[in-house]
Amino acid sequence: MAIEGVDPQRIGRELGGAAVTVDPALPEPVRAGIGELVRRPLGPGAEPRIHVGPTLPELGPGERLLWMHSTNAGVDTLLAASAGWPTGTLLTRTVGRMGERIGQYVLAWALAELQNIPAFLDQHVSRTWNRLPTELADGTLAVVLGTGGIGAGIAAALRPSGVRTVGAARTARPVPDFDEVFALGAPDGSGAPSPELAAALGAARWVIDALPLTPATAGLLGSGFFGAMDGATFLNVGRGATVRTEALGRALEEGRVAHAVLDVLPEEPVGPGSPAWELPRTTLTSHSAGPTTAADVLTDFRAAWHALDAGRLPDLAVHLARGY
């Protein structure tokens, strides 16, 4: 799908003469790998600029940003911080093996819950010897909100254990690694889940938020979504601001949500006085489910470079209207 105002063939023609800069905070292996790929010294110049980093670079007078490769998968902060994205500038993002990492994170929490590991750890601390019940994963249901690379990685990790995976996306459609995919929202635009998704939420053992933060998803998960749940564990590995924390707190108090595992929150880092620490039956994991590595940045930048060199739009190009 084309991106309005972005011409990959024009950008490809300008690659050879563009100045390339890398955020100074990035590790040396990233700088070295990018320098080897572009075959020129890194640094600003008189030509159009290509920049690799987490934030927009400062441009000199008359300097034009041709392409920015974000070192993060989520670009909501980047887009919100800019005073309007530069016209004609391509934005790509880093995903790397994040879907695989986050999939293993979700799988680890799910299996730990089924095997009653938290209770066994408590027993060890109290030196108590009791046999505790455990369960098989086969036949359980996980609902994954978001069916992109991260959501698909979660489904791919869960399915070999026999977990049935239902995805939720903007529209209902077949997606690899998911048993079914339902529309995320009700057709009336009320912000409530679609009827099919609401039924799945009520039957789910786990509900996993893997949504990007966009104008359509900001604060989307509120009383309508949590009210449809019936004792599931909720995990957020997407973006903190997709969740209305007060609605999650009420759902935990009412038992609609049995346990919450929050890797992300609306405001980070979370200080010791934050009310998030007081949510009942909740575990915070400090935005560590899917760290981005130097290899991820290099792999995705290299793939985008070769795509543009061939006149094609990179797979990880950000569609600004969508926000991802």
| CB of 35 closer than 8 Å to CB of 19 | no
Residue 268 catalytic?
Answer: yes
| CB of 42 closer than 8 Å to CB of 31 | yes
Dihedral sign for Cα 117, 111, 242, 266, please. Answer: positive
Of 265, 261, 193, the residue nearest 226 (C-alpha): 193
Residue 239 catalytic?
Answer: yes
Catalytic residue among 49, 159, 164, 239: 239
Cβ neighbours of 86 (radius 10 Å): 16
Residue 319 catalytic?
Answer: no
Catalytic residue among 31, 97, 250, 287: 287
The answer for 20, left when phi > 0, alpha when psi is -120 to 50, beta otherwise, is beta
Q: Crossing angle for the helix pair 294-309 and 28-38, nearest 10 degrees?
A: 20
Helix (H, G, I), strand (E, B) or coil at 186: coil
Residue 192 sits at the vertex; the CA angle it makes with 191 and 198, to the nearest 5 degrees, is 150
Catalytic residue among 268, 281, 306, 322: 268
Which H, E and C letters describe 39-100, residue by residue? CCCCCCCCCCEEEEECCCCCCCCCCCEEEEEECCCCCHHHHHHCCCCCCCCEEECCCCCHHH
Dihedral sign for Cα 109, 211, 145, 165, please. Answer: negative
Of 126, 157, 130, 131, the residue nearest 142 (C-alpha): 157
Q: Where are the beta strands (DSSP E) in 63-194?
A: 65-70, 90-92, 141-145, 164-169, 180-183
The separation between CA 164 and the C-alpha centre of its own chain, rounded to angstroms, equals: 21
d(CA 283, CA 300): 32
| CB of 66 closer than 8 Å to CB of 89 | yes
Question: Which residues carry out catalysis?
Answer: 239, 268, 287
